[in-house]
A and B are shown apart, each in its own frame.
Chain A
Amino acid sequence: AQSVSQHNHHVILSEAASLELGCNYSYGGTVNLFWYVQYPGQHLQLLLKYFSGDPLVKGIKGFEAEFIKSKFSFNLRKPSVQWSDTAEYFCAVNPYTGGFKTIFGAGTRLFVKA
């Protein structure tokens, strides 16, 4: 079955630590990839997206993600996290053949200690 896997369900970091959240998908064809974020008490919002071109994409608040086609991965990174990055992060895949459906991973809860 087609799926999106996020490696960590919970991550706890101290401020200024580096962050990498893993995401793998199982679709074989062309895909568009996203990271969405849900801050406490808020609704989901787009963090960054990959459509084509440079596999290293930059998003808001200093986040970036790298698309590695051979590994079916789209990992999210940030060199130095802040307390305000505490949130739940969702990787999502929109297959070109998916009929405009977007499939989400289970999410990773990040808690940043001040």
Chain B
Amino acid sequence: NAGVTQTPKFRVLKTGQSMTLLCAQDMNHEYMYWYRQDPGMGLRLIHYSVGEGTTAKGEVPDGYNVSRLKKQNFLLGLESAAPSQTSVYFCASSYVVGGANVLTFGAGSRLTVL
């Protein structure tokens, strides 16, 4: 199994450009998440989804949009990139065990906005 796959792994954007990060999981997980990781701030939840066709805001949703048209895919979009969105983005999916999540992470996507 591939687990959680993120594409692209690296991307450089200019301010104002748009892009989409793709996350795909092959574990039939219901829940999927997008986090950003910044030095000294840990992982902060951007958006998440509890099932196909549903999305919800996390801790830092501004400037991002998401879609979950298929159960296995969770897309993160930046409509107008800003330097503050320079970060490493991690996608995760999860299954529920005993009422709690166990997250499986992708390898990350490093985004630089100039």
Contact = CB atoms under 8 A, between A and B. Distances in A.
Nearest to A51: B98
B44 A49 contact: no
Contact of B100 (A6, A32, A36, A90): A32
Contacts, number: 68
A45 interface: yes
A7 to B, nearest CB: 13
Interface in A4-34: 4, 6, 9, 32, 34
A51 B98 CA distance: 7
Contacts of A34: 102-103
B43 A51 contact: no
Interface stretch (B10-18, B61-69, B75-83, B89-97): B89-97
Interface string A60-78: 0000000000000000000
A8 to B, nearest CB: 12
A43 B107 contact: yes
A44 B101 contact: no
B103 A9 contact: no
A51 B96 CA distance: 11
Most buried by A among B58, B96, B103, B107: B103
Interface in A93-109: 94, 96, 99-107
B100 A104 contact: no
B101 A94 contact: yes
Interface of B: 31, 33, 35, 40-45, 48, 50, 56, 58-59, 90, 92, 94, 96-103, 105-108
